[in-house]
Structure 1
Amino acid sequence: MNTDTYPAKSFRMPSITRAAAGSLISAVHEAAAGIGFEAVVAVTDAGGHLKAFDRADTTPFLAAETAVGKAWTAASFHVATHVLNEYVANPKVAPLAHHPRLVAVGGGYPITEDGRCIGGLGVAGGRHEQDREAAEAALACLGFDVGGG
């Protein structure tokens, strides 16, 4: 039997490193301070599993769940959460908004390297515009794509 005729049975899935996740958290906190708020930051791997997390002392407790949800959503859909927010406004896609982990509010971005999603970044604690701005600044600071959708 010639196994060369069968399709591949697996593929390598790139994932963000712990060091890069930690650097993103630091960069978000620095950007958030410059914008004027304290942040909760969550970083997931490409499969949406939590890789790193940090919550500033004064952030509301609900912001922690929100940041994790934004990171999971961005990694799952490979699109920024503010873009997904626009998608779920469409009645044909609106049922997605009822998924218990989906957070379609600005501040979540897929983390991409060489065109492949390697994780998700979720920022919460400010207004959605502030969360987006801090996430974009951190991604750009570390050389990640800021397109997100």
Structure 2
Amino acid sequence: MAAATATRPLPCLTLEAARIASAAAEEKAKQMGIDFNIALVDSTLHLLHFTRMPNAKLTSIQIAIDKAFTAAGHRAPTSNYSNAPAAKNFLPGGPAYGIHNSNGGRFTLIGGGVPIVVDGVVVGAIGVSTGTPAQDEEVARAGVEALNRRKGGAKL
């Protein structure tokens, strides 16, 4: 019988992959004609890469970071908390109302945070903020899609 170990490997998004996702998100933002804040965290929920486009809202910097934090930590898009059928659980009177106050107020219910999944494991997430939640999510998904297309070429 093999001895039990006290550790396990934790797959994390690399800086190279974060830069690829950020560049793709920025390109999508330029196509939309909107400047965004774009944050990427690794699977430990720590900021790995950040881009603030010139006219992105300054008050959205922390929001973008928190969207990535929430998406990676809960392993789900932040839009699940506002658009999905289960969103009623997070509204006043719902069983999970108040979750937005958890984690020092960093847990966000606003769309625009999307996990990055490799081989079924969340390795990080991208969070985008400045536009509407739908615009933020569209830009974030462009970053994730760029990584999905490059899995063989970029080390994630």
Mark yes or no: TM-score above 0.5.
yes
**Which residue in the other structure is 1:35 paired with?**
32
The code of the aligned residue for 2:140 comes to: A
Aligned pairs, how many? Answer: 141
- 1:80-114 Cα offsets, whole Å, 9 max, x none, are 00103325237111121222101111110111101
Aligned-residue identity in percent: 28
RMSD: 1.6
Q: Spell out the pairing of 1:29-108 with structure 2 (5 A cutoff).
A: 29-85=26-82, 86=87, 87-89=89-91, 91-99=94-102, 100-108=105-113
The code of the aligned residue for 2:56 comes to: T
Runs of 4+ in structure 1 displaced over 4 angstroms?
none
Q: TM-score, normalised by structure 1?
A: 0.88
Gapped runs of 5+ residues in structure 1?
Answer: 145-149
Separation in structure 2 between the aligned mates of residue 7 and residue 94 of structure 1, nearest angstrom: 39
Separation in structure 2 between the aligned mates of residue 105 and residue 95 of structure 1, nearest angstrom: 14
Q: Is the 8 A contact 2:40 2:127 kept in 1?
A: yes
**Which residue in the other structure is 2:138 paired with?**
133
Separation in structure 1 between the aligned mates of residue 15 and residue 146 of structure 2, nearest angstrom: 17
The code of the aligned residue for 2:53 comes to: A
Gapped runs of 5+ residues in structure 2?
Answer: 150-156
1:7, distance to aligned residue in structure 2 (A): 3.4
SS of match in other structure, 1:94? coil
Q: Does 1:25 align with 2:28?
A: no
Separation in structure 2 between the aligned mates of residue 139 and residue 109 of structure 1, nearest angstrom: 8
Separation in structure 1 between the aligned mates of residue 11 and residue 90 of structure 2, nearest angstrom: 28
